[in-house]
Every structure is written in structure tokens, then in C-alpha cells.
Amino acid sequence: MREPENLEPFPRTDPRDVGCDEAMAVLHIYVDLMAADEDAAGRYPGVAAHLAAYGPCDVDFAGLLGGHQWLARRITRRRGDRPRGLGVRPVRNAV
């Protein structure tokens, strides 16, 4: 039997991908950086690569970011402030 020439046995992953454990360990910081309009992907390129693979961690990321945005809207509405970024500043040195 002849194998197709361009068929790879496994899907390629981004070599920068840090994997689930490392991505989950800093996901809250990554979301805080995004909420503050900072360069989360530039600071954590391995996490960005992992999330770009659209696996279960990306679902967790979307949920965490959605919760962050919801909270920022509530705080902003209550204070009557104009939103800055998502309205919530990141916690520094939170590792």
C-alpha cells in the first residue's frame, strides 16, 4: 500500500507551546495582563502558543477572561467610571 507523500502522522504543534501545566499556572496573570491592555502574548509567548492550539485550556482562558470582563463592567457601572482596559488592574508579583 502506498502512503500519501504529504501526510504527516501527527499534527504539528508550535515548539513554543509550554503545555497545559505551565499555561494553567500563569493563566490568571495572562488574563490580568490582557485586562490591563498589556502585551500578554509578548510576555508569555509559550502560553499564547498553547492557547492558539484551541484545546481545553483555551476554553478555560475564555471563561476566565469573560468573568474578568463581567466583573470589570459591574465595577465600572457601580462607580460610574469610564473603563480603562477592562477596568481592572493586574495584581503585580502574583506568581
Residue 3 or 21: the one with the smaller Cβ distance to Zn ion is: 21
Provide the 10 A C-beta neighbour count for residue 91: 9
Provide the minimum distance between the beta carbon of 60 and Zn ion in the complex, in angstroms, as a whole number. Answer: 8
Nearer to Zn ion, 26 or 86 (CB): 26
52, 14 contact by CB (below 8 A) = yes
Nearer to Zn ion, 55 or 85 (CB): 55
Binding region for Zn ion (CB under 5 A): 20, 55, 57
Cβ density class 21-44: b for 16+ within 10 Å, e for less: eebbebbebbbbbbbeeeebbeeb
CB of 70 to Zn ion, least distance (A): 23
* Smallest gap from residue 36 Cβ to Zn ion (A): 23
Q: What is the CA radius of gyration of the chain?
A: 18
